[in-house]
Chain A
Amino acid sequence: MEIASATYIEEKLKAPVPVESCRFHFPLLRRQVNGKPLVYFDNAATSQKPQVVIDAIMRYYHEENSNIHRGVHYLSTKATEAYEEARLKVQRFINARSIEEVIYVRGTTEAINLVATTYGRKNVSEGDEVLISAMEHHSNIVPWQMLCEERKATMHIIPMNDAGELLLDEYEQLLGERTKIVCLAHISNALGTINPIKRMIAAAHAKGIPVLIDGAQAMPHMRVDMQDLDCDFYAFSSHKMFGPTGVGVLYGKKELLNAMPPYQGGGDMIKSVTFEKTTYNDLPYKFEAGTPNIEGAIGLGAAIDYMKGMDLTAVAAYEHELLTYAAAKLLEIPGLRIIGTAKEKASVISFVLEGIHPHDIGTILDYEGIAIRTGHHCAQPVMQRFGVPATARASFAFYNTKEEVDVLVKAIYKVKEVLG
């Protein structure tokens, strides 16, 4: 009955992401760089970590540190529980069918290498084809190149248009009888393009071809559902989704994982060992040799808890608003060109300034306390496709603000003033 409360509800609906309180959760965002308040726009490289993640790691070392799956003692049981509980959180978060489909790895790169060396070596032979896209990160190119070289197979590339969108008709043409696997980025780290992977997975499956998705850039921005996507493998890193570095996940369909040989040999991945024969452990342990990154898994679990506390649809909407705002402001700057203008785009803006090299942009922005990435973003073929040696890249998370975008825009005018 009070007007004030109605307005209050309306305000809540209008601002579903409580940016200010979110920022408060990330202690690093409060620091200064070069005497200026930090503007962190390098989220596609790694995200910042909320206090709950930092606390979870500290609590593990304060209270539970011990090796897992081995000891009968109290601490080992507690550490094992925490490590496995985090796996359960991952399984539920990505809607995998069971925890057997959730394999801990060091990160996206290791996840892809795991599939290339186990699934790849077993299933790709001379004359076969591996299909990847023109916008892949080096980590989804090089392992396949190495495999193809070893097996005398060939790598084919799904081309893209000038906006940075994959050409789907050409993609379907490239799915051939000898195609053994399709490897695709969910979201391009250099261009921000969100690929229509569900449709692309279905097209590959129609011809019986499995699909690996590099989800490193998608996880912090959207809810992914393994059963809905129906992908065969999905790889991602904890550190890009507000968790610690050094840990990541390979999701794989159980029947595929079961049929694959182990990745590395050692402790934990075995059931029994004699000098004559070793029996491998069940999933997921078959792929987890040696003492794993226990603190990392626990930290990832805490990051997932944090993300589950947010409305990820609202996050996506807010990030899109930031993207649209930033793109419009940046395009007002004379001589600025945005590389990657796909219709479906995540909050990543790669840009170049006429006559000014991205590294010089990066240095001057850093001087203003703004962290962006400059260079080829581990995607040299993308740079070649667009005829630029490098780009400057600003990538946003839900804790970034329009005011920060204004700081960036102002600083780019300064770049032009210094170097123009």
Chain B
Amino acid sequence: MSLLRELYQEVILDHNKNPRNFRIMEDATKHVEGYNPLCGDHYTIYVKMEGDVISDVSFQGAGCAISKSSASVMTSLLKGKSRKEAEQMFNDFHNLVKGELNAEENLETLGKLAAFAGVSEFPARVKCASLAWHTLHAALHDDAQRVTTE
């Protein structure tokens, strides 16, 4: 049960039930669809930029608890961040869920993201956790309209 509790932490359960910034943004600078064809998780990430700063970010879509809470936590952390800061968070998150970054040693930098440390014990779920982040990455890089994690 303990490993499961580590995966489904309170933060994750809370954001899954009450996702933050869960709305369509009509005046978004950019929106990108993220899709995991194997499991059907499907989200759209909306970003509004003011110069180099993310002034607003939101999401819509459906998927499992891990993917939805990840998108929710991500949007709640990104407002007011620069592209560079967002990129750094993306890298940290990626390393965390792959088990390459120790959560306890980096609690300060990770903040709420640390809740996803348990994902690294469940390799089948890494893609769920990182879907929203990959989609955001595409939005910030202005490349794809649609990304998949396959």
Residues of chain A touching chain B, judged by Cβ–Cβ distance below 8 Å, are: 356-360, 363-364, 367, 374-376, 380, 383, 389-390, 418-419
Contacts and interface: CB of A to CB of B under 8 A. Distances in A.
Nearest to B3: A367
A390 B41 CA distance: 9
A361 to B, nearest CB: 9
B63 interface: yes
**What 4 A-B pairs are tightest by C-beta distance, nearest first?**
A357-B64, A359-B64, A389-B40, A360-B65
Interface of B: 3-5, 7-8, 13, 16, 38-42, 62-66, 68, 122, 124-125, 128
Given A374-B39, A389-B40, A418-B8, A363 B63 contact: no
A363 B39 contact: no
A389 B62 contact: yes
Given A357-B63, A360-B64, A419-B13, A375 B7 contact: no
B9 to A, nearest CB: 11
B42 A389 contact: yes
- The SS class assigned to the B binding surface is helix
**Which of B3, B7, B42, B65 neighbours the largest number of chain A CB atoms within 10 Å of its CB?**
B65
B8 A390 contact: no
A375 B42 CA distance: 13
**Which of A360, A374, A376, A389 neighbours the largest number of chain B CB atoms within 10 Å of its CB?**
A360
Contact of B8 (A374, A376, A380, A419): A419
B39 A418 contact: no
Contacts of B42: 389
A364 B13 CA distance: 14
Nearest to B61: A389
A60 B32 CA distance: 53
Nearest to B62: A389
B129 to A, nearest CB: 11
Given A363-B124, A375-B38, A376-B40, A357 B65 contact: yes
Contacts of A360: 8, 64-66
Given A359-B63, A418-B4, 11 more contacts: A357-B65, A359-B128, A360-B8, A360-B66, A363-B122, A363-B124, A363-B125, A376-B39, A383-B40, A419-B13, A419-B16
